[in-house]
Amino acid sequence: MMKVANLLVAFALLALASSFVTAYDPSPLQDFCVGINDADAAVLVNGKFCKNPSFATIDDFTYSGLNVPGNTSNQLRAHVNIITADLMPGLNTLGISLARIDFEPNGGLNPPHYHPRGSEVLLVLEGTLYAGFVTSNPDHRLFSKILKPGDLIVFPFGLIHFQLNIGKTPAVAIAALTSQNPGVNTVANAIFGANWPIKPEVLVTAFHLDRKLVEDLQTQEWVNPT
């Protein structure tokens, strides 16, 4: 009886784990679900408010402006313009989003970050980028390459990755992500710009840094390239 009970517990845990795995951007049960905030003008489909399909237009499924360079006048000298369901309602429930990334010459940086809800494929359109990602514990292997126009790189789900413009001209890249809301967590911002600040003792030990340096880093402004 004990073996049977253990087997049932194992199956229950497996089923629970499977439910978490499939919890991200589940497949829709209808052709589309144009996101809308007005419940009076919407129908409930798959537990979400969607615009009545009879009222959907082509404008719900198109977006103009990704050809316009982003403002890179910031600390990182880069800009990310991500198109999610907030800007393009027709993306709702489709599990995809797109971003344009602009880099200033000689050091424009999309800093180390990760997406908690999606993988990413990046295509270089202009310039020369040094890009890569780091694997999780315990190996922390760096996979990196210098990319030129036409080159692609994939950043696996949840892994820290980055892009740096090492060229003398501006660089432009397009990224496709496997979630309508992939999220982003920039490592330096999260660690040194946390609100409220993390106790310095934690960062001194974790990063092998001097306490004064940690406290100085925590007083600096940490910006996102958006």
Question: Is residue 181 annotated as involved in ligand binding?
Answer: no
Q: State the residue for tokens 């310039």.
A: 127
Q: Does 161 show up as a binding residue in the annotation?
A: yes
Q: Which of 81, 67, 70 minimizes the C-alpha distance to 175?
A: 81
Cβ atoms of residues 180 and 93 within 8 Å: yes
Q: 223: Cβ–Cβ under 8 A, 6 or more apart, which residues?
A: 74, 75, 76, 189
Q: Binding residue per annotation — 208?
A: no
Strand order in the sheet with 142-147: 142-147, 129-134, 160-165, 109-114, 185-186
110 annotated among ligand-binding-site residues? yes
Among candidates 130, 154, 157, 156, which has minimal Cα distance to 144?
Answer: 130
Distance CA 85, CA 61 (A): 10
Q: Give the contacts of 118 (CB within 8 A, at least 6 positions apart).
A: 24, 25, 97, 157, 177, 178, 179, 182, 183
Binding residues for oxalate: 110, 115, 120
Binding residues: 110, 113, 115, 120, 161
Binding residues for Mn(2+): 113, 115, 120, 161
